[in-house]
Amino acid sequence: MLTLRHYELLVTLAEELHFGRAAERLSISQPQLTQQLKQMEELIGTLLFERNRRKVELAQAGRLLLPEARAVLRHAARAQDVAMSVGRGTIGELALGYVGAASTSGVLARLLRAYRDRAPDVRLQLTLMDLDRQIPEVSAGNLDAGIVRLPFPDMPENLVTRTLHEERLWIALPADHPLADGPADGALDLAAFRDASFLATHLPPNIGFSAAMHQACAGAGISPDIVHRSPQFTSIVSLVAAGLGVAVVPDSIRFLAVPGVVYRPLAGVAVTANISLVHQDSRESPALDQFLACLDAVRPQGDIVT
């Protein structure tokens, strides 16, 4: 069977038409070149070169085989490049889940931009998914990683988490609310909303952003009266605009301009809502390794002001 070395020999000798120069390029001796060419011609069953003491030239069979030999070498070089890229994680596939907060906070955009610069040929599979669905999928290996709001109780033992971003808590209130007047950066005490109706996420009080909200309320000495729940902050803020209540929201949501809604920072609340990456501790994936190498790019300077 012909090998890559045989094809390389054919191409090199066809380009040089001189046994000495061809042997030098191939880093072998001239007798070795002669022997390998003879072996190749025996495998094919015909001469590839016409040679005598004065010149070497391609035989008809050699001329016909030369373009195919060059193509074989190009494909082999490409296959090697692909294999090396796969090993480095610069091509392949990465399946990533994310919660909506990853988009609104800018974390997802910064992370994907950094990853695209590092591994432009990796095929990304992005899926918007609630954290309570993401974490089992990551644990089972159906997702390489997930961007979620923590905490999450009963985290699978095969997963590790890394904090990507921390957000302060704000309050969204109807524009006609008595506390909506005043400067845009005027901080309000959460305790002032002790008797208010609250709009909140659909998650239990020990998961994700819901955990941060309930922890902040407990710190303010209030138990929120939650009258409506929604899985999306866009819907929650719309209900605030309708006058159905107030809502504790992450910092990034205040950039969602909804008519009839005013955002104010919360005074004295040290609780933050964290966005984290979750992935298997021992998953062997060069594409994931490249992704993890980008994590420093997602944390802007001055994330948290305390």
Examine the domain organization and report whether 157 and 20 are in the same domain: no
What confidence tier does 91 reach under pLDDT thresholds 50, 70, 90?
low
The answer to whether position 287 is within a domain reads: yes
Sign of the torsion angle spanned by Cα atoms 145, 151, 153, 154: positive
Examine the domain organization and report whether 134 and 73 are in the same domain: no
For the chain, how many structural domains are there in total?
Answer: 3
The answer to whether position 63 is within a domain reads: yes
The answer to whether position 155 is within a domain reads: yes
Domain of 234: which CATH number? 3.40.190.10
Interatomic CA distance for residues 40 and 48, integer angstroms:
9
Domain containing 12 equals 4-88
Quote the percentage of the chain above a pLDDT of 70.
Answer: 93
Examine the domain organization and report whether 15 and 79 are in the same domain: yes
Examine the domain organization and report whether 102 and 71 are in the same domain: no
Asked if the model's pLDDT at residue 41 lies above 70, the reply is yes
Examine the domain organization and report whether 252 and 175 are in the same domain: yes
**pLDDT tens profile 189-231:** 999 999 999 999 999 999 999 999 999 999 999 999 999 999 8
The answer to whether position 306 is within a domain reads: no
**pLDDT tens profile 140-172:** 888 999 999 999 998 999 999 999 999 999 999
Examine the domain organization and report whether 9 and 67 are in the same domain: yes
One DSSP character per residue, 60-94 reads HHHHHHHHHHHHHHHHHHHHHHHHHHHHHTSEEEE
Instruction: Name the residue with higher pLDDT: 286 or 240.
Output: 240
Interatomic CA distance for residues 100 and 128, integer angstroms:
7
Sign of the torsion angle spanned by Cα atoms 285, 287, 288, 292: positive
Examine the domain organization and report whether 113 and 236 are in the same domain: no
Examine the domain organization and report whether 174 and 34 are in the same domain: no
The answer to whether position 152 is within a domain reads: yes
175 burial type by CB count under 10 A (0-12 exposed, 13-18 middle, 19+ buried): middle
Examine the domain organization and report whether 130 and 64 are in the same domain: no
